[in-house]
Amino acid sequence: MISPTVLNMNQSTSDNNYIIGPLAITFSVISLWIINRNAIKANIILGIWLLVALFILHFSETIAFLSNGICAVLLILLSSIKRKTTEKFGGGWRSLFQHNPLHLREAEKISTNS
């Protein structure tokens, strides 16, 4: 978010960075929780946009072009890393239409053990 000032970017490229930067941070923080892990896929889309923007927007400096390109590739690669799931969840909206969903079975186990 400070790169537009440091790298002397023009208005369109700096606006792009001011929008994409906070969005990438937001989706990264949201996806830290296991239940929201699919939010990281939004960062892949943002990274692809940054790659496309390299050729659509006119960068005034070569270093700014390279900086955005490296950030786009890193954003895509780091967002593509698979994480292990250590917990099971009730199935979300799909569980509303199941006969005996996981969360009811787990609740029955807890109630019979107490």
Instruction: Note the pLDDT tens digit of each residue in 48-92.
Output: 999 999 899 887 788 888 888 999 999 999 999 887 777 766 666
Predicted confidence (pLDDT) at residue 22 exceeds the cutoff of 70: yes
Tokens 């509303």: give the residue: 96
pTM of the model: 0.71
- Output 42 or 96, whichever has higher pLDDT: 42
CB atoms within 10 A of CB 50: 24
Residue 1, both tokens: 């978010």
Express as a percent the part of the chain with pLDDT over 70: 88
Backbone φ and ψ for 59, nearest 5 degrees, come out as -85, 130
CA distances from 21 to 44, 49, 89, 99 (A): 13, 12, 31, 44
Where helices occur in 1-114 by DSSP H, the ranges are 3-6, 11-30, 41-56, 62-79, 102-113
Please check the confidence at residue 47 and state whether its pLDDT lies above 90.
yes
